[in-house]
Amino acid sequence: MTPRLPRAAESLARARRLIDDLKSEQHTGESRFRDRLPAVLDLLDGVSRGIDEQSAGQRTPVFSAWWKTQWTAERREIRELRNAELKRLETKTRAHFTVVINESLNTGPSGTTGATTSTLAGAFFFDGGHFDGEEVVPTLQAYASHLEAALTEAERLLAVPD
């Protein structure tokens, strides 16, 4: 069966791949993470835009009633985050990094030697809005899962005759 909403499905697939990239980028540096975040938000918002645009002309009353319920606080927040990060270049996240320094001293035949190692652990959190204080990557992963379920339901409802 040919999908009725292929652009929405492609937007979701691309968003999931970029969320995986974000997950690895949050440990390599703030600028790389922030450079990718607007694209992820745009693709996630693009799933809803795709459903809305591609379902036009083929909506049943059942689909239309269901679609109205999909304008949730989370969807509105993703759109607002997208607009802030992509259009207005406003940062809506904050980074939290922890540096752990381990020192070990070895006393051997040649005397005392020291070795220092450090590790950097970090994550980004939403700053303000509906997702305030929530970690970015898990929140976006959960929202992508929600969109996957919504896309499946939209496809099902569009296939159901009136």
Q: What is the pLDDT of residue 149?
A: 96
Q: What is the pLDDT of residue 117?
A: 58
65-85 confidence digits (pLDDT tens)? 999 999 999 999 999 999 999
Q: What is the pLDDT of residue 32?
A: 84
Domain boundaries, the chain: 6-91+130-159
Q: What is the pLDDT of residue 34?
A: 87
Q: Which own/partner contact pairs does 133-139 have at CB distance under 8 Å and 24+ positions apart?
A: 136/22, 136/26, 136/37, 136/93, 137/19, 137/22, 137/23, 137/26
Q: What is the pLDDT of residue 42?
A: 97
Nearest to 64 by CA among 156, 157, 151: 157
Under 8 Å between Cβ of 19 and 43: no
Q: What is the pLDDT of residue 114?
A: 59
Number of C-beta neighbours around residue 154 at 10 A = 26
Q: What is the pLDDT of residue 71?
A: 92
Task: Report residues of the chain scoring pLDDT below 50.
Answer: 120
pTM, two decimal places: 0.82
Q: What is the pLDDT of residue 103?
A: 62
Strands of 40-148, DSSP E: 93-108, 111-126
Q: What is the pLDDT of residue 25?
A: 79
Q: How far apart are alpha carbons 75 and 29 in whole angstroms? A: 28
